Amino acid sequence: MSEKPIGVAVLGLGNVGTEVVRIIEESAADLEARIGAPLQLRGIGVRRVANDRGVPEELLTDDIEKLVSRDDVDIVVELMGPVEPARKAIMAALERGKSVVTANKALMAQSTGELAQAAEKARVDLYFEAAVAGAIPVIRPLTQSLAGDSVVRVAGIVNGTTNYILSAMNDTGASYESALADASALGYAEADPTADVEGYDAAAKAAILASIAFHTRVTADDVYREGITKVSAEDFASAKALGCNIKLLAICERLVSGKGKHRVSARVYPALVPLDHPLASVNGAFNAVVVEAEAAGRLMFYGQGAGGAPTASAVMGDLVMAARNRVQGGRGPRESKYAKLPIASIGAIPTRYYVNMNVKDQPGVLSAVAAEFSRHEVSIAEVRQEGMTDPEGEPCGARIVVVTHRATDAALSDTVKALAELDVVQDINSVLRMEGSDS
């Protein structure tokens, strides 16, 4: 066993950073046995040095550049976010020959290529398992366990805040606003929940997953994104009638045209999911990712997707791997981008749809609506119609819910625009996709 310690610098002392520091200190003997050398904490980079951090003050510094440049630091663990100053710190570490472990999903979705090139040039490791789905091991299975297989599709619930909100709406019939307020009160939602509820967080994770699964650089800007703010209690009632739940899904897949041309699709949106699909029963703040590969078939990864301790678990797994490589002289997986597949536009993606609209209650309405679907070559699978009344109980029109067979997003968008122009259609209440069904 090597006697030379592996020097570690931790950047950031929030919930995750505090937990990582605790594990390094309290599990020192076990970590040394697993790595083949002791881990030694050289310093902790913070924005403000204070003596109320719960760690020895001599470890704290606000000079990040000096810390990552120290000769006795072998691995830098970046847990401070956001994109800047994290990118600058990671680049400085890589350029000075330090391996890097990060949980920064926004940075990895934006700057994977730049960071991967710097790691390759310095011949050091860049690990980021904790950037997607917290404690759930997803990155390593894709880069290592399935390295000899061909991944077809990766779909999952990768944001705990939105899954908590949607689960509450499904279970209690609450409105979006009420469920968000509860999530905020319980600490699941940030003071500004925009990144979560508008799908930005999930889109960053989708970009990372798509890049790895399909050996193609995919950035967050390549990911089609819709949030959950327009999902209503009425949508959940309709979903239940159709035997479905509603989940915010991150979907990455390899599409093959009739001529054998391959493309990558990466998208995030709320969708109806059949109750017999494994993702439909993932509730609360939990995450789950389903991977489909040609040889392995369907694999599912489920667990805590966020939080200090779960995320720290993933960080520590990467730290141990990076430290082992330092001891043994090896390196972890490098960026694989050989495929260079084009990104498919959302308009070309085929799926099923749920369209909820208010219409006039008069003869010929249903045939007029059906005609627009037919004119745009969108096949109808199911139609539900019910009367509506005003607060005084007087009839005030009807509600129609249409479920389609598979059609392209472009065809469905054209259909919805045409429906909105019909005199008999009063409002298009919602349009949601349906995933997990091939019909």
Strands, E, within 151-276: which ranges? Answer: 151-157, 224-225, 244-256, 262-274
The residue ranges of the chain whose pLDDT is under 50 are 1
387 labeled binding residue: no
Instruction: Please say whether the dihedral angle defined by the alpha carbons of residues 322, 99, 62 and 38, taken in this order, is positive or negative.
Output: positive
**What is the reported pLDDT for 343?**
97
364 labeled binding residue: no
> CATH top-level class for 6-134+308-328?
alpha beta
**What is the reported pLDDT for 1?**
46
**What is the reported pLDDT for 348?**
94
For 9, phi then psi, to 5°, come to -115, 130
Which of left, alpha, beta for 301 (phi over 0: left; psi -120 to 50: alpha)? beta
Domain ranges within the chain, ordered by starting residue: 6-134+308-328, 139-304, 346-434
279 labeled binding residue: no
> What are the structure tokens assigned to 189, written together?
């939602």
Query: Measured between alpha carbons, how far is 150 from 228 in angstroms, rounded to an integer?
Result: 32
Q: What is the CA radius of gyration of the chain?
A: 25
**What is the reported pLDDT for 438?**
67
Query: Measured between alpha carbons, how far is 395 from 49 in angstroms, rounded to an integer?
Result: 67
156 labeled binding residue: no
Pick the CATH number of 139-304 from 1.10.3210.10, 3.30.70.260, 3.30.360.10, 3.30.300.30: 3.30.360.10
15 labeled binding residue: yes
Asked if 139-304 and 346-434 have one fold, the answer is no
Query: Measured between alpha carbons, how far is 236 from 198 in angstroms, rounded to an integer?
Result: 19
Does residue 243 contact residue 274 with C-beta atoms inside 8 Å?
Answer: yes
**What are 1-37's pLDDT values in tens digits?**
457 999 999 999 999 999 999 999 999 999 999 999 9
Sequence-distant (6+) residues with CB within 8 A of 417 are: none
Report the alpha-carbon angle 85-91-92, nearest 5: 90
Query: Measured between alpha carbons, how far is 379 from 415 in angstroms, rounded to an integer?
Result: 11
14 labeled binding residue: yes
Q: Pick from 402, 394, 397, 395: which is nearest to 361 by CA?
A: 397
Query: Measured between alpha carbons, how far is 222 from 344 in angstroms, rounded to an integer?
Result: 9
| DSSP letter for each residue of 90-112 | HHHHHHTT-EEEE--HHHHHHHH
Q: Which sequence positions are flagged as catalytic?
A: 205
Does residue 235 contact residue 206 with C-beta atoms inside 8 Å?
Answer: no
105 labeled binding residue: yes
Query: Measured between alpha carbons, how far is 135 from 290 in angstroms, rounded to an integer?
Result: 15
Instruction: Please say whether the dihedral angle defined by the alpha carbons of residues 79, 84, 89 and 94, taken in this order, is positive or negative.
Output: positive
> CATH top-level class for 346-434?
alpha beta
Does residue 135 contact residue 315 with C-beta atoms inside 8 Å?
Answer: no
Query: Measured between alpha carbons, how far is 281 from 167 in angstroms, rounded to an integer?
Result: 9
